Amino acid sequence: MIKRKDGFSGERALVLPQSIIHDMEEDPISSILHITDIGYYPKALHHFREREEPISQFVFIYCTEGSGWYRTEGQEHSVTANQYFILPAGKPHAYGANEADPWTIYWIHFKGKLASHFARQYTRPVEVKPGVHSRISNRIDMFEEIFRTLEMGYSHENLLYASSIFYHYLGTLRYLQQYRDAAHNETEKNDIVTAAIHFMKENIEKRLTLQKIADHTGYSASHFSALFSQRTGYAPLAYFNQLKIQQACQLLDFTDMKINQVCYKIGIEDTYYFSRLFSKVMGMPPREYKKMKKG
């Protein structure tokens, strides 16, 4: 059974043709691990899917905001922001968004000789907590690179490159501490402003309050705000908005996302507010910026 509205604002999805999947299953490299479907659903209100007939793919779902649930093998689990899970292949399952607080999810269906090894032990929700060294934004960039590569077509090289990135992507989750330690910088340990900026970048898709950011640093909102403004010359939320627009510019520059999709990718649901904010920071509306960069 499938129940959902006709699309979610800002959604993106790709379903690879069966002939392409067959070719990947025959290739010695991509047969190890390959993607069959990939997508991103922001604020997916009424999202619900139930598969009584099992499918041959594993289903990876990474919730970055909001909440939802899933059910498989007689057990139901709740899912909150910054958690992921992998549904086993060959088993009936169901999942959906919380109606009061619908999730934003990145999802991938995958197969391959090593798929079960990556999926093992992840049928329960696993948390990826934002922190100074969490590198969540890097992982989201990785997802976007996979999506853009497949969006460019299903050439042999594109498919192998996407499979290679996905192998690394799952490795960043399976070997989480090693992934974080690889980019560890000792000088950042006690720098609350650097920590706050990192926290902002890791949560670029969310609407953070000053209190939420201050809580992350362990300081009161007023003390943190004073320290942050003294160091950067900007109030924390103004700086956060600048980071959001910086990310929006990158998406407009290097992807074919529509403007309403870019809005959701930086945590702004109101396209009019996004346009005003973009114009304030960049000196021109997003549509004009997009045309200028394409020219």
Domain that holds residue 145: 2-181
Give the C-alpha separation, 79 to 59, whole Å.
Answer: 15
Total of domains in the chain: 2
pLDDT recorded at residue 123: 81
Contacts of 30 (CB under 8 A, 6+ apart): 24, 112, 159, 160, 163
Percentage of residues of the chain with pLDDT beyond 70: 90
The residue among 152, 181, 210 that closes a domain is 181
Among the candidates 154, 181, 208, a domain finishes at: 181
Residues 232 and 153 in one domain: no
3-state secondary structure of 266: coil
Looking at the fold, whether 28 and 140 belong to one and the same domain comes out as yes
Task: Over range 116-132, report the average pLDDT.
Answer: 80
Where is pLDDT greater, at 123 or 85?
85
85, 69: one domain: yes
**The predicted structure's pLDDT at residue 184:** 57
Within this chain, do residues 86 and 104 fall inside the same structural domain, yes or no? yes
Same domain, 216 and 281: yes
138 lies in the same domain as 192:
no
Whole-angstrom Cα distance, residue 215 to residue 234?
Answer: 19
Domain end marker among 142, 166, 181: 181
What is the pTM assigned to this prediction?
0.69
Q: What is the pLDDT of residues 149-208, one digit of tens each?
A: 999 889 999 999 999 999 999 988 887 667 666 665 444 444 788 889 889 988 999 999
- Same domain flag for 176 and 196: no
Segment 62-67 shows an average pLDDT of 94
Q: What is the mean pLDDT of the chain?
A: 87
Assess whether 26 and 118 both reside in one domain. Answer: yes
Please indicate, yes or no, whether residues 157 and 239 belong to a single structural domain of this protein: no
Half-sphere exposure of 5 (CA within 13 A, CB side): 12
**Of the ranges 35-39, 232-236, 250-254, the best mean pLDDT one:** 35-39
Same domain, 9 and 32: yes
